[in-house]
């Protein structure tokens, strides 16, 4: 069992104590749930941090372990540690609930003489008078929790049993069912607003009906798998998740600024904030251990869980299109990977960048085509064009035939552009690029939506 260092123990204890004080104060003063959420996220960070250290050896003992092949001396480190994040996160969300609704409880029980009513025996069967209580929010929390817990179960199963890729791909759809059921039962709106230029053809609104549910299921499948595919170097899975979470939170803040209140979507974005802050908390604790040189691996559980958190806030917060804008690097990576994923170009088992033990740097990994299994000529020509526009690097034999190509992932492509990089440098550059693209996406979304719709949600 790996112990926390003394500095770590003091820092984490101090952080937890400060957060607890904030929590107690928030409870007593019926304060802003946002402060309580921040405080709980701080505690979640400290608890995750300590738990990763305390329980790592248990994972190794039970066979959840792997070797980091991008190191000079690969040692066995725990795998599937994202499970700890998921558990602490779920615990944090549950413990946040009383804070989220404290004000409403006070308002409901103190208003209209209900406190007196409450003491009458017959109300023991019916509970409080609830007509002023925001029950629809409560149901959202319940089903968000259910969806994320389901995703955790399926993530564990994926990390425990070897699943085939084509089975794994659809796993998130099952986990998303509670959320879709809630949407069906509660919200139920399957109309979308038509952009201005198209209104003369189809009208102001269009009812997508069942397709809207397919769209939501697609989001729920897409987000987790995207994060799972953009993986392979230390810290990239957690790093990209934190960047996305921070960008969504930034977008939420735009709707929560005092200057734009009252805003019809403020409640949805508060809900999003409450779900994202603890996620950022547990993820930072994981990043600390997964960053180069990694002490733990995150596992599919984390990738699925992170992706599903985003799908939940995007769908239940009704900003799934904006969400997709923040996934542009992942979407690019998915499309770019498609030729290998769908077998047009042969796909090796691992496509992560190749570690050059002599220089200590990462280089693009390659797939070679032997003479007995050559590429189809048309595919070869396509690869040559991609090479010319610098979207690949191929090697040609004497006959002009393509004998080798870099693998189709954004990480390899970045290394083609930038030359060999150390693992942490590559991670930093990818995350910086992702942040820049995300901010650009948000800027476009808020400045251009007025051209397409009658009003931006923000104003």
CA 82 to CA 134: how far, in whole Å? 33
The size of the interface with a second copy (CB under 8 A), counted in residues, is 64
Q: Which is nearer to a second copy, 16 or 152 (CB)?
A: 152
Q: Identify which range of 57-65, 228-236, 249-257, 440-448 contacts a second copy by CB under 8 A.
A: 57-65
CA 107 to CA 80: how far, in whole Å? 44
Q: In Å, what is the CA distance from 327 to each residue of 219, 226, 333, 438, 458? A: 11, 8, 10, 8, 21
Q: Which is nearer to a second copy, 127 or 258 (CB)?
A: 127
Q: Tell me which residues in 2-31 interact with a second copy (CB under 8 A).
A: none
Q: Which is nearer to a second copy, 145 or 369 (CB)?
A: 145
Residues 392 and 386: beta-carbon distance below 8 Å: yes
CA 202 to CA 209: how far, in whole Å? 15
Q: Identify which range of 35-43, 98-106, 386-394, 413-421 contacts a second copy by CB under 8 A.
A: 98-106
DSSP state of 184: I
The residue from 138, 328, 379, 416 that contacts a second copy (CB under 8 A) is 138
* 123 is an interface residue for a second copy by CB under 8 A: yes
Query: x/- binding map, residues 310-349, to a second copy, per CB under 8 A?
Result: --------x-------------------------------
Query: x/- binding map, residues 65-94, to a second copy, per CB under 8 A?
Result: ----------------------x--xx--x
The residue from 6, 28, 72, 119 that contacts a second copy (CB under 8 A) is 119
Task: Count Cα neighbours of 102 within 13 Å in the Cβ-side half-sphere.
Answer: 20
* 191 is an interface residue for a second copy by CB under 8 A: yes
CA 291 to CA 302: how far, in whole Å? 15
155 burial (CB, 10 Å; 0-12 / 13-18 / 19+) is buried
* 206 is an interface residue for a second copy by CB under 8 A: no
Residues sharing a CB contact under 8 Å with residue 173, sequence separation 6 or more, in sequence order: 217, 220, 221
* 443 is an interface residue for a second copy by CB under 8 A: no
* 308 is an interface residue for a second copy by CB under 8 A: no
CA 324 to CA 330: how far, in whole Å? 10
Q: Which is nearer to a second copy, 105 or 112 (CB)?
A: 105
The residue from 30, 32, 76, 136 that contacts a second copy (CB under 8 A) is 136
The residue from 10, 27, 170, 184 that contacts a second copy (CB under 8 A) is 184
Residue with tokens 């993986």: 231
CA 277 to CA 148: how far, in whole Å? 15
CA angle 406, 287, 272 (to 5 degrees): 100
The minimum distance between CB 318 and a second copy, in angstroms, equals 7
Q: Give the max Cα distance, the chain.
A: 93
* 198 is an interface residue for a second copy by CB under 8 A: no
CA 283 to CA 224: how far, in whole Å? 15
Q: Identify which range of 33-41, 44-52, 182-190, 402-410 contacts a second copy by CB under 8 A.
A: 182-190
Q: Which of 264, 248, 224 is nearest to 319 (CA)?
A: 248
* 97 is an interface residue for a second copy by CB under 8 A: yes
Q: Which is nearer to a second copy, 152 or 240 (CB)?
A: 152
Q: Which of 172, 293, 274 is nearest to 223 (CA)?
A: 172
CA 423 to CA 353: how far, in whole Å? 9
Write phi, then psi, for 238 (nearest 5 degrees). -70, -40
* 98 is an interface residue for a second copy by CB under 8 A: yes
136 burial (CB, 10 Å; 0-12 / 13-18 / 19+) is exposed
The minimum distance between CB 113 and a second copy, in angstroms, equals 16
Q: Is 403 helix (H, G, I), strand (E, B) or coil?
A: strand
Q: Identify which range of 139-147, 241-249, 408-416, 419-427 contacts a second copy by CB under 8 A.
A: 139-147
The minimum distance between CB 194 and a second copy, in angstroms, equals 10
The minimum distance between CB 140 and a second copy, in angstroms, equals 8
The minimum distance between CB 226 and a second copy, in angstroms, equals 24
CA 143 to CA 176: how far, in whole Å? 9
The residue from 109, 367, 396, 435 that contacts a second copy (CB under 8 A) is 109
DSSP state of 408: S
* 177 is an interface residue for a second copy by CB under 8 A: yes
Residues in touch with a second copy (CB under 8 A): 58, 62-63, 87, 90-91, 94-95, 97-98, 100-101, 105, 109, 118-119, 121-128, 130-131, 133, 135-136, 138-139, 141-143, 145-146, 149-150, 152-153, 156-157, 160-161, 174, 177-178, 181-182, 184-189, 191-193, 204-205, 264-265, 318, 457
């Amino acid at each position: 069992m790996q112990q926390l260092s003394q500095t770590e123990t003091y820092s984490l204890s101090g952080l937890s104590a400060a957060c607890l004080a904030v929590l107690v104060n928030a409870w007593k003063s019926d304060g802003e749930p946002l402060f309580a959420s921040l405080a709980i996220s701080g505690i979640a960070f400290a608890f995750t941090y300590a738990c990763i250290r305390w329980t790592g050896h248990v994972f190794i003992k039970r066979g959840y372990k792997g070797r980091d092949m991008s190191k000079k001396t690969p040692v066995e480190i725990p795998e599937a540690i994202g499970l700890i994040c998921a558990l602490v996160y779920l615990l944090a969300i549950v413990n946040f609930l009383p804070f989220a609704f404290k004000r409403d409880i006070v308002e409901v029980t103190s208003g209209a003489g209900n406190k007196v009513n409450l003491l009458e025996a017959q109300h023991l069967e019916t509970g409080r008078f609830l007509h002023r209580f925001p029950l629809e929010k409560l149901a959202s929390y319940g089903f968000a929790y259910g969806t994320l817990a389901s995703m955790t179960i399926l993530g564990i199963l994926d990390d425990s049993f070897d699943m085939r890729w084509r089975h794994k791909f659809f796993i998130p759809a099952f986990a998303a069912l509670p959320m879709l059921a809630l949407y069906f039962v509660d919200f139920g709106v399957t109309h979308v607003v038509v952009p201005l230029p198209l209104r003369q053809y189809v009208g102001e609104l269009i009812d997508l009906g069942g397709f809207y549910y397919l769209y939501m299921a697609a989001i729920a499948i897409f987000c987790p798998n995207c994060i799972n595919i953009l993986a392979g170097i230390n810290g990239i899975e957690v790093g990209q998740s934190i960047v996305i979470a921070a960008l969504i939170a930034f977008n939420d803040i735009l709707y929560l600024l005092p200057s734009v209140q009252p805003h019809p979507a403020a409640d949805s974005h508060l809900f999003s904030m409450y779900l994202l802050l603890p996620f950022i908390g547990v993820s930072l604790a994981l990043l600390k251990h997964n960053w180069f040189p990694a002490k733990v691996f995150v596992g599919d559980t984390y990738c699925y869980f992170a992706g599903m958190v985003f799908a939940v806030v995007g769908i239940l917060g009704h900003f799934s299109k904006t969400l997709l804008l923040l996934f542009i690097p992942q979407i690019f990576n998915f499309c770019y990977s498609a030729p290998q994923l769908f077998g047009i170009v042969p796909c090796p088992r691992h496509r992560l960048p190749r570690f050059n033990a002599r220089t200590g740097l990462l280089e693009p990994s390659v797939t070679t085509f032997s003479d007995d299994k050559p590429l189809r000529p048309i595919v070869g020509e396509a690869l040559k064009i991609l090479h010319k526009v610098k979207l690949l690097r191929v090697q040609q034999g004497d006959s002009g035939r393509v004998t080798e190509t870099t693998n189709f992932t954004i990480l390899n492509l970045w290394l083609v552009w930038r030359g060999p990089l150390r693992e942490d440098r590559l991670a930093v550059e990818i995350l910086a690029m992702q942040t820049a693209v995300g901010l650009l996406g948000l800027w476009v979304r808020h400045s251009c939506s007025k051209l397409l719709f009658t009003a931006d949600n923000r104003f």
